[in-house]
Structure 1
């Protein structure tokens, strides 16, 4: 079955009482740091500045009981970053919530999509 009309996407954004907001950008940053082993490489791949990526990492590390990213400064031995077990759990739970919304909410998402004005009209 081919889909016509606009395609609906879910962008999960979790807002906590603390200053933490966990959304698709931070989840993607965690995933890329895990894959690349580097905050700067993950930032580059996402088209974001290192300073911005580091700020997001610090935000998450401060908000959770244990750090989500463990980093080592560069130098002769090189630096690097790893996603901690807590960071892996945060990412896994975030992805599980995204899947839950897509799977359990599929009928509602299709119903909302059907209520949209067709492309090119109006």
Structure 2
């Protein structure tokens, strides 16, 4: 059992339109690495899956969250756009505020849990 429970919030806007911890992490890794492929590898997913998630996110918003450049002599790359940074900041803000608002309730739940050693 971890000392600090983690909130895993998924915002569902429609059947195929959602953003959650996985997509947020993918955006952060693309921003850091400059590459969809590298971000996907770090997360243990295929380039195809990472690219599909980027396509879904880009289609959800008025402006793309990730811009990409095709490979060539200098190689390709990807960058998180201003809209992508805004979406990511808002999502992380929701996580932070939910965790803060739920602290008392989390403490109540933890007080009712078994000890990690299996005792009561």
Q: 1:72 to 1:6 in 2, by over 3 A?
A: closer
Contact 1:6 1:113 in 2 (8 A): no
Listed as ranges, the gaps of 5+ residues in structure 2 are: none
State the 1:109 CA deviation.
Answer: 1.1
Q: Which has the higher contact order (CA 8 A, sep 6+)?
A: 1
1:93 matched to 2:94: no
1:23 matched to 2:20: yes
Runs of 4 or more, structure 1, over 4 Å off, are none
TM-score (norm 2): 0.91
Listed as ranges, the gaps of 5+ residues in structure 1 are: none
The equivalent position to 1:65 in structure 2, one of 58, 62, 67, is 62
1:81 matched to 2:78: yes
